[in-house]
Structure 1
Amino acid sequence: MVAGLEKKICRVAVSGYYGFSNSGDEAVLRSILLALEEQGRAAGVKFEPVVLSADPEWTSRMYGVQSAHRMRPADLFKTLRECDALISGGGSLLQDATSAKTIPYYVGVIKLAQLLGKPTFIYSQGIGPVNRRWMDPLIRHVMRKSAYLSVRDAESAEYLGRIGVSKERIEVVPDPVMGLPLPANTAAGRDGAAAGSVPVVGVSLRHWRKDGADLERAVDALAELASRRPVRLRFLPFHTPEDAETSKLVMERLSGRLGEGSTVELASPGDDPQRMLLEVSRCDMLFGMRLHALIYAANQHVPMLGLSYDPKIDQFLGRIGLTAIGTTERLDAAEFAAAAEKLLDDAAAWRAEHEDAISKLKQQSQRPAQQIAQLLR
Structure 2
Amino acid sequence: MTDRTGLTIGVLGSYGGRNLGDEAILTGLLNDLREQEPNARIVVFSRNPAHTRAAHPDVEAVPWEGVSRVDSSVILGELDLLILGGGGILYDREARRYLRVVRVAQERGLPLLTYAVGVGPLTDGVDTAMVRETLASAVEVTVRDQESRVVLEEAGLLNPITVTGDPAFLLQPADFPAHLLREEGVPAGTRLIGMSVREPGRAAERLDVDGYHRLLAQIADFLVHRVDAYVLFVPMERDDIRHSHGVMSHMTAADRGRILHGDYSPEQVLGLMRHFDLAVGMRLHFLIFAAMIGTPFLPLPYAGKVFDLANRLGVPALKGVAREVEGPLLAEVDRLWDEREARAAATARRVAEVCDQALGTSQVTRAVLDSLRTRT
Shift of 1:275: 1.7
C-alpha distance in 2, partners of 1:176/1:354?
19
Task: Confirm or deny that 1:266 pairs with 2:256.
Answer: no
Query: Structure 1 stretch 20-29 or stretch 314-323: which is displaced more?
Result: 314-323
The CA deviation string for residues 4-35 of structure 1, in whole angstroms up to 9 with x for no partner, is: xxx95111111001111111101110110011
The match for 2:62 among 57, 65, 68 is 68
Match of 2:117 in 1: 125
Q: Pick from 269, 285, 295: which aligns with 2:278?
A: 285
**1:132-168, CA deviations, whole angstroms, 9 ceiling, x for partnerless residues?**
133222111111100111011112112222333235x
The within-5 A match list for 1:69-218 is 69-71=63-65, 72-73=67-68, 74-96=70-92, 100=93, 102-166=94-158, 169-183=160-174, 197-208=189-200, 209-218=207-216
**Are the structure 2 counterparts of residues 186 and 39 from structure 1 closer, same or farther at C-alpha, using a change threshold of 3 Å?**
farther
Unaligned runs of 5+ in 2: 182-187, 201-206, 371-376
C-alpha deviation, 1:337, in angstroms: 3.6
Measured after TM superposition, the shift of residue 291 of structure 1 is: 1.1
Report the residue type matching 1:198 in the other structure: T
C-alpha distance 359-38 of structure 1, shift in aligned 2 (>3 A) = same
Deviation at 1:284, TM superposition (A): 1.5
Distance in 2, matches of 1:79 and 1:235, equals 40
- Relative to 1, partners in 2 of residues 1:349 and 1:331: Cα closer, same or farther, differing over 3 Å? farther
Residue deviations 1:266-304 (CA, integer Å, cap 9, x gap): 113414221221222321211111111111111212111
Match among 343, 354, 360 for residue 361 of structure 1: 354
Deviations, residues 101-125 of structure 1 (Å, cap 9, x unaligned): x111111122111111111100111
Letter in 1 for 2:214: E
The one of 300, 303, 306 aligned to 2:296:
303
Confirm or deny: 8 A CA contact 1:178 1:298 kept in the other structure.
Answer: no
Q: For 1:309-328, what aligned pairs fall within 5 Å after superposition?
A: 309-328=302-321
For 1:55 and 1:271, how far apart are their aligned partners in 2?
A: 17
Which segment is superposed worse, 362-371 or 123-132? 362-371
Q: Percent identity?
A: 27
**Equivalent residue, structure 2, for 1:3:** none
How much has 1:225 moved relative to structure 2? 2.4
Q: Quick one: distance in 2 between partners of 1:295 and 1:331?
A: 24
Bigger mean CA offset, 322-331 vs 15-24: 322-331
- Write the distance in 2 (CA, Å) between the matches of 1:139 and 1:287: 34
Deviation at 1:197, TM superposition (A): 4.5
Aligned partner (choices 27, 30, 35) of residue 38 of structure 1: 35
Q: State the distance in 2 between where 1:75 and 1:367 align.
A: 34
Q: How far did 1:131 drift? A: 2.0
Q: Aligned AA for 2:166?
A: D
Within 5 Å, which residues of 2 pair with 1:333-352?
333-352=326-345
The AA in structure 2 aligned to 1:88 is L
Unmatched runs of 5 consecutive residues or more in structure 1: 1-6
CA apart distance, 1:346: 4.4
Indicate if the aligned counterparts of 2:91 and 2:127 stay in contact, CA closer than 8 A.
Answer: no
- Would the aligned equivalents of 2:320 and 2:328 in 1 still touch at CA under 8 Å? no
Letter in 1 for 2:106: Q
- Paired residues in the alignment total 351
Question: In the alignment, is the contact (CA less than 8 A) between 2:213 and 2:250 conserved in 1?
Answer: no
Match runs of 1:17-56 below 5 Å: 17-40=14-37, 46-56=39-49
Displacement, 1:211? Answer: 4.3
**How far apart are residue 210 of structure 1 and its match?**
4.6
**How far did residue 331 of structure 1 move?**
4.5
Partner of 2:363: 370
**2: CA distance between counterparts of 1:273 and 1:55?**
17
Tell me which residue corresponds to 1:58: 51
Q: TM-score, normalised by structure 1?
A: 0.86
CA distance in 2, matches of 1:162, 1:338: 37
The Cα of 1:48 is off from its aligned counterpart by 2.1
Contact 1:179 1:363 in 2 (8 A): no
**Are the structure 2 counterparts of residues 47 and 367 from structure 1 closer, same or farther at C-alpha, using a change threshold of 3 Å?**
farther
Q: In the aligned structure 2, how far is the partner of 1:336 from the partner of 1:367?
A: 35
In the alignment, the residues of structure 2 paired with residue 139 and residue 229 of structure 1 have an alpha-carbon distance, to the nearest angstrom, of 48
d(CA) in 2 for partners of 1:304, 1:15: 31
